[in-house]
Structure 1
């Protein structure tokens, strides 16, 4: 079996979940209602990401996404953001002692963009730096 050049290496984590702070990294287009929405113009594309504070009220979050509705219908996430950005569910897990807690910040971007070169060469390295700086013990990846 051949592994793709961009395959993510498996890195085991020796910590049990109850000792881990978790960060959400999402391509669902989630952002704070006060933040600039993602650019949905397909001729422009949006290769940016947004930082979401760890203590954000989930009612203050929304979704902006360029994917056609038949590929990603944003109606449900706009009604309950937890279906693509499960911040309240993670808080419940922390309250129950299943995880240690949430990271100080979370990262979101819009996964529907034709600017793949820019995303691979600029966005992802910058995003990874934010993840490393966060000192989160684990990352929950979500998509729209």
Structure 2
């Protein structure tokens, strides 16, 4: 029996090995970026940022265009782990729950109205970054 999927459907990908043998990468639409990187354009941004795997959480901030009532960035700015759990992944790696943390992570600002551009340009570029990362799994987070 053949299953027909929408062009935009995310295909089911079964897990092929235990979590303890997997390296994880974060991909986030929460607007996280390094304080040294250009902030996201809050009027609408279709770009993404690469975050190094060895980043210190103190070197992260959040820029997001969503209305404050929908996504208040005050708390994530105080502790980016709430939306970009890099320190939690490191702790899981130390405990042997996961094999390790990827050498890079990808973030973007999810509040953007140019969905055609995001689907045609940004998402394929992010997919290439993920594929090149050699991570075994991706942890998706949103703001």
> TM-score interval w.r.t. the shorter chain?
over 0.9
Q: Could you say which residue in structure 1 is the equivalent of 2:41?
A: 39
Q: Give the CA deviation at 1:113.
A: 0.3
Q: Could you say which residue in structure 2 is the equivalent of 1:100?
A: 99
Name the TM-score, length of structure 2 as normaliser: 0.95
Q: Give the CA deviation at 1:3.
A: 5.3
C-alpha distance in structure 1 between counterparts of 2:15 and 2:36, whole Å: 35
Q: Could you say which residue in structure 1 is the equivalent of 2:25?
A: 23
Q: Could you say which residue in structure 2 is the equivalent of 1:10?
A: 12
C-alpha distance in structure 2 between counterparts of 1:50 and 1:112, whole Å: 15
How many residues get paired?
Answer: 140
Q: Secondary structure at the match of 2:25?
A: strand
Q: Could you say which residue in structure 2 is the equivalent of 1:138?
A: 137
* Structure 1 residue runs of 4 or more that deviate by more than 2 Å after TM superposition: 2-5
| Structure 2 gaps, min length 5 | none
Q: Secondary structure at the match of 2:26?
A: strand
Q: CA RMSD in A?
A: 1.0
Q: Give the CA deviation at 1:120.
A: 0.3
